[in-house]
Amino acid sequence: MNVSRILAAKPKNLVTISPGQTIRDALSLLAQFDIGALVVTNEADELVGILSERDIVRRAVVEDDIMLLYVGDVMTKNVVVGVPQDELINVAHTMTERRFRHLPIVEGKHVLGIVSIGDVLKIQRDAYRGQIDTLETQIMADNH
Amino acid sequence: MSQVGTKGNPLRVAIIGAGPTGFYTAEHLFKRKDLVVEIDMYDSLPTPFGLVRAGVAPDHQKIKSVTKVYTRIAQKPGFRFFGNVKFGKDISLEDLQDHYHQIVFCTGAQTDNYLNIPGADLEGHFPATEFVAWYNGHPDFRDLEFDLSQEKVAVIGVGNVAIDVARILCLSRDELEKTDIADYALEALSNSGVKEVYVIGRRGPVQAKFTTPEVKELGELEEADVFTLPEEMELDELSLKELESTADRGTARKVELLQSYAENEPTGKPKQLTLRFLVSPVEMYGDDQGHLTGMKLVKNKLYATDAGTLRPAPTDEFEEMEVGLVFRSIGYRGVPLPDIPFNKSWGVILNEEGRIIDPHTGEPVVGEYTAGWIKRGPSGVIGTNKPDALETVEKMMEDLKTGAYLQPSHPSAADALEMVKEHQPDFFSFQDWEKIDEIEIERGEAVNRPRVKLTTVKEMMEAVGKQTAEPVV
């Protein structure tokens, strides 16, 4: 099962922010949409970074004026990205091992959507439930 | 007028597609406490159950036993089946909007992924799904012709469908007679000239999608020896790492089995089944008449994506494979429905958690939903559609509460029946299906087989006593 299965049914409103906006703007968006990360894009709508709650927390500890900082100065620039053909099991493993919770899915530099660790858990749970249901039905089948 | 969803005003739902997802959707709806619902399930075929009847391999009868669950759902009061009624041909979206509060599309994936290489249009190259539908007696595919006199056959892909095709090509007459394979296919396959079958995967044994029980079955065929190539069974660094870190015990067992096949010696069985890995077809060749005669394969090596998936990249080493019949089994693909927003690149209905979305506004289309493979994409086992259908039903219930449902001009069950009779007088009810089921099982008992299928709509109509139109002379 690959990542496009998650994106196919996911709400399509990708929340983005530009590097020139401020952390105050970012916090507003995170709160408004109840999400944990923002995809940072340039004028050409290309991915240039990702700004997560953790990025903001880490910086807030050393910067009193965190609200006034630009997104471009706080975001993570070396973003780990996924492609639609990435397999769920590999994505789950990478996110766990490398300790990040949001994976932007791209086609070239264009962002198709973002997959969170919550999305991955949900679809894995559904996949396992489905397999168990299928196997149980077979095991309990009358012998013909 | 009482609230929709109560005894005086039942919620009227149309489900398009009578495969597993359609039935799971119905099941979740019937399970809701305090909801009075009436469900009409439509299918373009006279028979229900979708790929369980037309896709699951004929020698996998246990998997088919899930239909007992669907039959129990179909027997609930408030459920009706309308078979032989095609959405887009016999009934339109407007017809449904006039008669139902909510409509759920569960039409699955009716076609397959295309292989974009030179020569792919040569005669002799087919989608595996057509071959499967043919041997399973699907009325729309039963008249296809496959040149089974060919000695060498290849199956491109290493999922469970590919393995099914390879296995069916290798079964003996004895083995076939224990299945519910269509009788014309039983004859054709028992008399085939097939001697060598190749299953071709572009990645390695660790990444192959077919599951362990299927691999084990290959080692137990009466008339075929199974092989893998030792050099393809040696795992590269990345695959070894994947096996240790992400793969489960099941995958390890599968790889061990595949590796054991590299040590097999021919035992004199009439057929040879070889599983090939790390090769992709790049070109198909043909003769002057446009018939396939062979393929060029490129050898692949694996690399890791950013997110950790191992994917194939071509090397500069090639090989030639002589083969006269090829089945591509590289994934199913959804087909767009008339008037329903569709995401072309992913082959799914445009949706969010099952609510169909208007591409112009980004807002849900009132009363329209989707579930199953046409919602998420074609992967997972039969049961995976059950939690998927639940997600959709939960959204339907949310919308019922907020009043976001259709206002049909003719909401009664009687009106809907009239509408169907008008558009497709030859519709099949669930009782009609039960009659067909009985007849098929009876015919099977006469020859010691699980069933002998009826494979044309005409036969089915005659079996249930419907008048068939005389052909126009």
Give the pLDDT confidence of B355-412 residue by residue, as tens digits.
999 999 999 999 999 999 999 999 889 999 999 999 999 999 999 999 999 999 999 9
Does B246 have pLDDT greater than 80? no
CA–CA gap between residue B32 and residue B217 (Å, rounded)? 41
Mean pLDDT, residues A63-87: 95
Contact B350, B365 (CB under 8 A): no
- pLDDT for B470 equals 55
* Candidates B309, B353, B386; nearest CB to A9: B353
Distance of alpha carbon B176 from alpha carbon A139, whole angstroms: 23
For B356, the closest chain A residue by CA position comes to A9
- B219 has a pLDDT exceeding 70: yes
Whether A121 contacts chain B with CB within 8 A: no
- What is residue A143's predicted lDDT score, i.e. its pLDDT? 52
- As a whole number of angstroms, the distance between CA B375 and CA A9 comes to 7
* Chain B residues near residue A134 by CB distance under 8 angstroms: 63, 66, 381-384
Interface confidence (ipTM) of the complex:
0.90
Is pLDDT of A144 > 50?
no
* pLDDT averaged over every residue in chain B: 95
Does residue A17 fall inside a structural domain?
A: yes
- What are A46-61's pLDDT values in tens digits? 999 999 999 999 999 9
Check: CB of residue B16 under 8 Å from CB of residue B69.
Answer: no
Q: What tokens appear for B425 in the block?
A: 């007088």
Neighbours of B409 (CB within 10 A): 9
- Separation between Cα atoms, residue B173 and residue B186, nearest integer Å: 7
CA distance B242 to A87: 12
> In this structure, are residues B286 and B119 in contact, taking their beta carbons and an 8 Å threshold?
yes
Of the two residues B217 and A143, the one the predictor is more confident about is B217
Give the A window 21-50 contacts with B, CB below 8 Å.
none
What's the gap in Å between the CA of B45 and the closest CA on chain A?
24
Put simply, the answer to whether A126 touches B309 (Cβ < 8 Å) is no
Tally of structural domains, chain A: 1
Residue A141: per-residue pLDDT: 77
Selection from B434, B440, B460 nearest residue B183 by Cα: B440
Nearest to A86 among B68, B245, B309 (CB): B309
In a domain, A75, yes or no: yes
Q: Could you tell me the two tokens for A89?
A: 């099991």
A78 interfaces chain B, CB cutoff of 8 Å: no
pLDDT class of B468 with cuts at 50, 70, 90: low
Chain A residue with CA closest to B178: the answer is A144
How far apart CA B432 and CA A42 sit, in angstroms, is 61
In a domain, A52, yes or no: yes
B243 and chain A in contact, CB less than 8 A: no
State the nearest Cα–Cα gap between B196 and chain A, in angstroms: 31
Range of the domain at A101: 4-139
Q: Closest by alpha carbon to A103, among A90, A89, A115, A117?
A: A115
CB proximity A113 to B under 8 Å? no
Strand ranges of the sheet holding B271-276, from the earlier edge strand across to the other edge: B125-127, B325-328, B152-156, B196-200, B271-276, B224-228
Residue A89, amino acid: I
User: Does residue A26 form part of some domain?
Assistant: yes
Q: Per the domain annotation, does A18 fall within a domain?
A: yes
Q: What is the CA radius of gyration of chain A?
A: 19
User: Looking at the complex, does the CB of residue A4 fall below 8 Å from at least one CB of chain B?
Assistant: yes
| A139 pLDDT higher than 60 | yes
Residue A116: pLDDT above 90?
yes
Question: Over 50: is that where the pLDDT of B35 sits?
Answer: yes
Torsion of CA B346, B349, B355, B357, to 10 degrees: 90
Chain A, nearest residue to B381 by Cα = A131
Q: Examine the pLDDT at A12 and tell me if it is beyond 90.
A: no
Residues 6+ apart with CB under 8 A from B439: B454, B463
User: Domain with A28 in it: what CATH number?
Assistant: 3.10.580.10
Euclidean distance between CA atoms B399 and A6, whole angstroms: 22
| pLDDT tens-digit readout, B161-177 | 999 999 999 999 999 99
* Domains detected in chain B: 11-110+334-428 (3.40.50.720), 113-332 (3.50.50.60)
Task: Compare CB distances from A130 to B306, B310, B380 and report the shortest one's residue.
Answer: B380
B175-195 exposure pattern, b = at least 16 Cβ within 10 A, e = fewer:
bbeebbbbbebbebbeebebe
Instruction: Indicate the pLDDT class of residue A80, thresholds 50, 70 and 90.
Output: very high
DSSP assignment of A116-139: EHHHHHHHHHHHHHHHHHHHHHHH
Least CB–CB distance from A127: residue in B353, B384, B450? B384
Q: How far apart are CA A122 and CA A140, in angstroms?
A: 27
Q: Does the pLDDT value for residue B469 go beyond 90?
A: no
CB contact under 8 A, B354 and A90: no
On chain B, the residues whose CB falls within 8 A of the CB of A3 are: 307
Alpha carbons A114 and A84: distance in angstroms, whole number: 11
Q: Which residues of A19-33 are buried (b: 16+ CB within 10 A; e: fewer)?
A: bebbbebbeeebeee
Query: Is residue A144 a part of any domain in this protein?
Result: no
Question: Is residue B465's pLDDT more than 80?
Answer: yes
Identify whether the C-beta of residue B294 lies closer than 8 Å to the C-beta of residue B285: yes
User: Least CB-CB distance to A130: which of B375, B381, B391?
Assistant: B381
The Cα of A103 is separated from the nearest Cα of chain B by a number of Å equal to 8
Q: Exposure string (b/e) for B332-368, b if CB count within 10 Å is 16 or more?
A: bbbebbeebbbbeebbbbbbbbbbbbeeeeeebbbbb
pLDDT of A98 reads 92
Contact B130, B297 (CB under 8 A): no
Q: What is the pLDDT of residue A134?
A: 87
Closest chain B C-alpha to A66 CA, distance in angstroms:
31
CB contact under 8 A, B354 and A9: yes
For a pLDDT cut of 70, what percent of chain B falls above it?
Answer: 98
Within a domain: residue A29?
yes
Q: What are the phi and psi torsion angles at A72 (to 5°)?
A: -60, -25
pLDDT cut 90: percent of chain B above it: 94
Mean pLDDT on B295-319:
97
Q: What does the DSSP assignment read for B341-392?
A: -EETTTTEE-EETTEEE-TTT-SEEEEEEE-THHHH-S-S-GGGHHHHHHHH
CB A101 within 8 A of CB A37: yes
Q: Please report the beta strands in B133-219, taking only residues with DSSP state E, as ranges in sequence order.
A: 152-156, 196-200
How far are the Cα atoms of B214, B252, B405 from residue B228, in angstroms, in the given order? Answer: 15, 16, 56
Q: What is the mean pLDDT of residues B226-249?
A: 92
User: What is the rounded distance in angstroms from the CA atom of residue B334 to the CA atom of residue B372?
Assistant: 11
B442 burial class (0-12, 13-18, 19+ CB within 10 angstroms)?
A: exposed
| Structure confidence at residue B20 (pLDDT) | 98
End-to-end CA distance of chain A: 32
